[in-house]
Amino acid sequence: MKRARVVAGVMCAIAVVTLLSGKAGAERLRRGPADPANPHITAASQYDPANTISGAVRREPQGDEVRLPGGTWVPCGFNCYFTLRNATLDFWRRYDVFAQ
């Protein structure tokens, strides 16, 4: 029984990798889950414009919020693009005193 679970887990992992491989799979991962209720924005890194990330945006009574990749909703500061970029792509880069 235990061996069957391990084999099933490995087969599922192989299926997921197979489905997500290729250009379409990479684009799907970068875009994030489809969420028709909330529009998505895409922000590019300040340091590497080829590095982008997408997140959903929602309007709350206190202001707009953007969803980070882990699912956490954070209030948009200056704007949602800035918040998404600085909370994910450029987070460590902003605090790295040795990066040029």
Note the pLDDT tens digit of each residue in 55-79.
999 999 999 999 999 999 999 988 9
pLDDT of residue 37: 75
48-57, 75-84, 89-98: segment of lowest average pLDDT: 89-98
Residues 6+ apart with CB under 8 A from 64: 57, 58, 75, 76, 80
Model confidence at 92, pLDDT cuts 50, 70, 90, reads confident
Residues 22 and 50 in one domain: no
Residues 36 and 12 in one domain: no
Residues 43 and 92 in one domain: yes
CB count in 10 Å sphere of residue 55: 26
Which structural domain range is residue 91 located in?
Answer: 32-100
Distance, CA of 43 to CA of 82 (rounded, Å): 8
